[in-house]
Amino acid sequence: MPYALVAPIVVVLGAILGYPVYYLVRLSLEKYGLFELIQHHGTYIGLHNFGSVLHDSVFWHTLLRTVVFTVANVTLTMVLGVLIALLLVRVSTWVRLLVTAGLVLVWSMPPVVAVQVWSWMTNVQNGILNYLLTELHVGNFFQHNWYLTTFSQYSMVTTLIVWGALPFVAITVYAALSQVPHELVEAAQIDGARAWRVLKDVTLPVLTPVLLILTSLSIIWDFGVFTQPYLLIGPGQQTTSNYLMSVYLYVEGYGQTNFGRGAAISILMLAIVAAMSVVYVRRMLRVGEEQ
Amino acid sequence: MRYRILAVLAAALALGVVAATAGASGQRAQANTLTVWLQVDAQNGWPNVVAAANSAFEASHPGWTVNVEYQQWTDHLQKFDATIAGNDTPDVIEMGNTEMTKYMASGAFANITADKSQFANSSKWLEGLTASSTYHNKLYGVPYYAGSRVITYRSDLFAKAGIKKVPKSLSQFQADLVKVGKMEKHVKGFAPLYVGGEDWYTALGFVFDYNGSIATYKHGKWIGTLDSKNSIKGLTRFKQFFDATQPKSTANLDGSNPYPYTVFSQGKTAANYGPAWYTCCTGKKYAKVTKQFVMPSHVAGQPMPGFLGGSDLSVPAQSSNKAEALAWIADFTSTTSEKALQAKGNIPNATNLLTNAVNDRAAAKSWFVPQATNWVNVENGNILKTMLAQLLSGQLSVTKAAEVASQNIAQTLNQS
Amino acid sequence: MSRRRTPVLGWNLVGIVLFAVMVFPVFWMVSTAFKSDDEIYSFTPTWFPGHPTLHHFRTAIDRPYFWTDVKNTVIVVLITVAIALVLSFFAALALAKYRFTGRKLFIVLVIGIQMLPPTGLVIPLYVVLARYQEVNKLSGVILVYLTFALPFCVWTLRGFLIGIPKELEEAAMVDGSTRLGAFVRILLPLVAPGLVATSVFAFITSWNEYIFARTLLSSGSTQTITVWLSYFYGGARSVDWGAVMAGSTLISIPVVIFFLLVQRRIAFGLTAGAVRG
């Protein structure tokens, strides 16, 4: 019986995912450019694509940049998300409802929409950000271009991504916090335990699994992020000096019709992500086993 | 019972698939539609020329309709590749003359050598454009129009600043712009010249003005030459000129967002450097004071070499309407059409149509990109834009930025 | 547990500031959409539209392909959700109610696929679909969306199904009805909220999807609405920010509505996380 229930989905996934994955491996061993695309037929060249990617300093720089970017984004998201959750515990009910409503609203913004709003707010001529910073006397930001240097570009991308990711983290952590048994906290407080001890001995054990899952999910998402950097920085501004992994793969493989090379980069990237997901998958597997 | 569930499942799946294909098949073009991809320039600059060609074609081909889809330069090739992959190409596509080689070499376009005579003035086509649509002595495209780059300026502002004559040299032009800039300081956000730092057609004009170049082909290999002595001289001069006449915040703008003529029409600049048809869009308010001259060289009395841009019209090899596609192209590049394009500030596709317009004079001294199969990847990889943003914003020195770009260009061009 | 008054007041203040900062971009989008061009392009911005106008909404809707692309998106999303829901319900049932060999492997597959970065699969999916002439067609995109919607739906539904006590099922069977009957009469009403929540999440994910839509759909008439919006600016002349913001607002509305619908379930589980961009 269970097999009959599972069979259709396995067949569908096998057909629309299994075959492309097989094809990915095959493509990575082939020369497959515009000419081959027209012929619908590649030429086998062995491991040449992998060799050329691994010997390309652009690949290594991109990898390093992506790792730094991921660490920065995940750290900001997690720290701010937990702080917001802790805040939600402390405020009055109506403020909590207000903030939660705001968070849900932000959560529901489609990424492409968020990108448009961001580029409008950071517009050189009429962006509200430049106006506000100038008015608040942070400095003269009149016609300041936020996309002039790679660092500045990614500061903007980071604010956008963290802003979009905060609601998920904050709300989930808050939900976990409300699972912390009240009696325990009170008991500890009556015993005269200091705040941080309560946090360490009572709150953290409940939070740890949730934080672990959230962190690994964030790492995986931010490592493979595409829409925000690609659109916010702009398709015409993607270069070897500001690629992230996904964008690199998209531009070198798809944009320049070099599918074989693109496939090789894809495989390397998938391998890295797979290695990173091990922690998460194992944990979820345990959840799946518990019934 | 198991079967019942499976039956429900199968029914649901079938329903989904039917709905999916129904949704998709609605999108397929009808048999008698000729799909044409033109660039937005036509939509903005000369929609009437397009409309005229369409009605001429539809009159001579009863039952046919022309569907013109306007494309952006930034991603039309990626979209075109997708249609090649899906065997769903347009019947006619406008290609930039720098983009042709890769596609001709890959067999993406129909060979139209035998059809050449059916196009007006085809024996007098501009050499540059004909060369860009020829590969191994076979013709794969029809020259559409060319464009040289000229200075479009506000004559009222120049006059007000006491500038009576059109500048004869680069340094004089720069001094004039600085003067205008000082005078208009009260206008918030005013830039004497507005081009956008990443507009590499402008920057490379300086390189060629100092006898520099982009890349040369030697012993079967491409060598990047942007870091040669002369090229560096040109780039250094460009940075100087840019720093004096444009705000730094435009260092990484490529002139497509905002368009230079939009800035012009908002009264926030005194001059643009770009295609002569910019006059189309400088705004009603300034229509009378919009004038043009040829960009001067650093050598007094000479013009600066300008990029000879242009477009060709090709028929994708997978199109099943080749005859109709060629007929439409013939209508669109007729003498009347080309003259109308010329009136809009373009260079027509044949020498017998040339006049003494500012545009045609500017074309006298021009430069072109290396004719390498992979050149288009240099453009797609934004290598030149990166270099310019880096050196203009001060992230890298001129020499360093040029060295990096030069290496990247050589690597890209030599990739098999 | 009497808390002192001042700290709560202070925290409330922080909460309100946080709310303002987080919501500001959304507010700015809507506010800009209703402003006149003069207000939008002024160097000193106004907070609220002085003379609210629908002009930009009209411009956005009148842009080529708006309705076509909305229609495309609705078709893609509805079919994806429908197929995903049916297929994944049965698989979720198997996971929640049965132990079987290969179960573990199946779980790893379901979770693993959700972890794959979509960009990594753009190239092979593109080339494979191209071979079968499925590029630039909605059916191709639906197939791709299914790969990502299915695992997610299985996992979420499984969570809802586990919550249903076995006794209820068994009680229904004792009545002499078949298992399918039991399923329809007793299980279905209980799972309904879970089905709704899952389909809404799947709906939002597909509605928001960008990279595959951009890669696989190349002409204006076959695109989805997110791609339509992303091409908004490269448009003619300069960017019409008022219209871009109006278009953005229009595209967000369905998502916001659906999000509010399942809002309470969001706190339920991590599963909702898959909805993120």
Q: What mean pLDDT is predicted for residues B341-370?
A: 83
Domain shared by C197 and C260, yes or no: yes
What is the per-residue DSSP string for B66-86? EEEEEE-TTTHHHHHHHHHHT
Question: Quick check: A219 pLDDT over 60?
Answer: yes
d(CA B312, CA B132): 8
Confidence of residue C272 (pLDDT cuts 50, 70, 90): very low
Domain shared by C190 and C260, yes or no: yes
Question: Quick check: B142 pLDDT over 90?
Answer: yes
Phi then psi for residue C269, to 5 deg, are: -150, 170
Domain that holds residue A185: 56-290
- Examine residue A64 and state whether it is found in any structural domain, yes or no: yes
Domain shared by A36 and A60, yes or no: no
Confidence of residue B263 (pLDDT cuts 50, 70, 90): confident
Q: Count Cβ atoms below 10 Å from residue C115 Cβ, excluding itself.
A: 21
Count of domains observed in chain A = 2
Q: How far off is chain A from C241, nearest CA to CA, in Å? A: 7
Instruction: Specify the 3-state DSSP secondary structure of B266.
Output: coil
d(CA B402, CA B225): 9
- Examine residue A62 and state whether it is found in any structural domain, yes or no: yes
Instruction: Specify the 3-state DSSP secondary structure of C132.
Output: coil
- Examine residue C227 and state whether it is found in any structural domain, yes or no: yes
Q: Count Cβ atoms below 10 Å from residue A241 Cβ, excluding itself.
A: 21
Domain shared by C128 and C49, yes or no: no
d(CA A128, CA A120): 8
Instruction: Specify the 3-state DSSP secondary structure of B65.
Output: strand
d(CA A286, CA A95): 37
Question: Quick check: B25 pLDDT over 50?
Answer: no
Of the candidates A209, A210, A172, A204, the one whose C-alpha atom is nearest the C-alpha of residue A188 is A204
Question: Quick check: C231 pLDDT over 60?
Answer: yes
d(CA B3, CA B6): 5
Domain shared by A140 and A41, yes or no: no
Domain shared by C44 and C148, yes or no: no
Domain shared by C76 and C114, yes or no: yes
- Examine residue A13 and state whether it is found in any structural domain, yes or no: yes
Domain shared by C70 and C197, yes or no: yes
Domain shared by A9 and A74, yes or no: no
Q: Do A236 and B389 touch (CB under 8 A)?
A: no
Of the candidates C104, C122, C93, C105, the one whose C-alpha atom is nearest the C-alpha of residue C180 is C93
Cβ-based contacts of C235 with chain B (< 8 Å) = 40
Asked if A252 and A258 touch (Cβ cutoff 8 Å), the reply is yes
The helix (run of H) or strand (run of E) holding residue B329 is helix B322-332
Domain shared by C241 and C139, yes or no: yes
Report the CATH number at residue C230.
1.10.3720.10
pTM value? 0.83
The helix (run of H) or strand (run of E) holding residue A45 is none
Domain that holds residue C125: 66-266
Cis amide leading into A20 (omega within 30): no
Residue A222 or residue C232, greater confidence: A222
d(CA C123, CA A142): 42
Cβ-based contacts of B277 with chain C (< 8 Å) = none
Q: Do B393 and A147 touch (CB under 8 A)?
A: no
- Examine residue A51 and state whether it is found in any structural domain, yes or no: no
CA-CA-CA-CA dihedral for B385, B388, B391, B397, to nearest 10: 80
Of the candidates B100, B138, B136, B143, the one whose C-alpha atom is nearest the C-alpha of residue B121 is B143
A166 near C CB under 8 A: yes
Question: Quick check: C235 pLDDT over 50?
Answer: no
Q: Do A236 and B395 touch (CB under 8 A)?
A: no
- Examine residue C59 and state whether it is found in any structural domain, yes or no: no
Percent of chain C with pLDDT over 90: 33
Residue B7 CB-density burial (10 A; 0-12 exposed, 13-18 middle, 19+ buried): exposed
Option in C129, C130, C218 nearest B79 (CB): C218
Strands of B168-226, DSSP E: 191-193, 215-218, 221-224
pLDDT at C151: 87
Question: Quick check: C166 pLDDT over 90?
Answer: no
Of the candidates A105, A54, A64, the one whose C-alpha atom is nearest the C-alpha of residue C263 is A105
Domain shared by A114 and A174, yes or no: yes
Task: Please give the mean pLDDT across all residues of chain B.
Answer: 86
Q: Do C219 and B79 touch (CB under 8 A)?
A: yes
d(CA A120, CA C83): 38
Domain shared by A87 and A28, yes or no: no
- Examine residue A214 and state whether it is found in any structural domain, yes or no: yes
Count of domains observed in chain C = 2
d(CA B143, CA B310): 8
Question: Quick check: C274 pLDDT over 70?
Answer: no
Option in C216, C233, C237 nearest B262 (CB): C237
Domain shared by C24 and C160, yes or no: no
Q: Do B86 and C179 touch (CB under 8 A)?
A: no
Domain shared by A135 and A259, yes or no: yes
- Please give the residue of chain B at the shortest CA–CA distance from A243: B381
- Examine residue A134 and state whether it is found in any structural domain, yes or no: yes
Domain shared by A98 and A23, yes or no: no
pLDDT at B92: 97
Domain shared by A75 and A135, yes or no: yes
pLDDT at C140: 92
**Residue B109 pairs with which residues in a beta bridge?**
B316
Q: What mean pLDDT is predicted for residues C154-171?
A: 75
**Residue A36 pairs with which residues in a beta bridge?**
none
d(CA B232, CA B391): 11
This complex has an ipTM of 0.89
Domain shared by C185 and C115, yes or no: yes
Q: What mean pLDDT is predicted for residues A199-224?
A: 85
- Examine residue C186 and state whether it is found in any structural domain, yes or no: yes
Chains contacting chain B through 3 or more C-beta pairs under 8 A:
A, C
- Examine residue C201 and state whether it is found in any structural domain, yes or no: yes
Asked if B387 and A142 touch (Cβ cutoff 8 Å), the reply is no
Task: Please give the mean pLDDT across all residues of chain C.
Answer: 82
Interface B-C, measured as beta-carbon pairs within 8 A, has a size of: 101
- Please give the residue of chain B at the shortest CA–CA distance from A235: B74
Would you state the structure tokens that stand for residue A23, as one six-digit string? 């094809």
Report the CATH number at residue A178.
1.10.3720.10
Q: Which residues of B fall below an 8 Å CB-CB distance to C?
A: 1, 4-5, 8-9, 12-13, 15-17, 19-21, 23-24, 27, 40, 43-44, 69, 72, 74-75, 78-80, 82-83, 85-88, 188-189, 256-259, 262, 281
Domain shared by A79 and A180, yes or no: yes
Residue B137 CB-density burial (10 A; 0-12 exposed, 13-18 middle, 19+ buried): exposed
Domain shared by C120 and C25, yes or no: no
pLDDT at A75: 97
A162 near C CB under 8 A: no
Domain shared by C140 and C10, yes or no: no
Asked if A95 and C9 touch (Cβ cutoff 8 Å), the reply is no
- What letter does residue B416 receive in the DSSP assignment? -
